[in-house]
Amino acid sequence: MQSVGIYEAKTRFSALIELVEAGEEVRITRHGKEVVRMLPVRRRPVITDEQIARELEQIQALQRTIQAPAATVSVVELRHTGRSRA
């Protein structure tokens, strides 16, 4: 990470852009306080295809463990499940 004042940033702007393109973070300050942070643009996706496939597989495994109510249970019985009969 490199920190430069506004005047220096103005005079070295192209060089600072090259640093950012190379992956460096550049902070521009005014009177010692940070006012701008230049970061490289991510060129790759945040999540890879392998990570997506792994997550989908975990979701499908979870779905297989969830059991739906038996087809013999009526809607009325499901509605009254857990209700107190006072």
Q: Give the integer Cα–Cα distance in Å for 27 and 34.
A: 7
pLDDT digits (tens, 9 = 90+) for 40-71: 987 666 788 899 999 999 999 998 888 766 66
Q: State the alpha helices, DSSP H only, in the chain.
A: 6-11, 13-21, 49-65, 75-80
If 0-12 CB within 10 Å is exposed, 13-18 middle and 19+ buried, where does residue 9 land?
buried
Q: In CATH, what class is 1-67?
A: alpha beta
First to last CA, the chain: 69
Map out the domains of the chain as residue ranges: 1-67
**Chain segment 8-34, per-residue pLDDT in tens:** 999 999 999 999 999 899 999 999 999
Better pLDDT: 77 or 1? 1
Question: Rounded to 5 degrees, what are φ and ψ at 41?
Answer: -75, 135
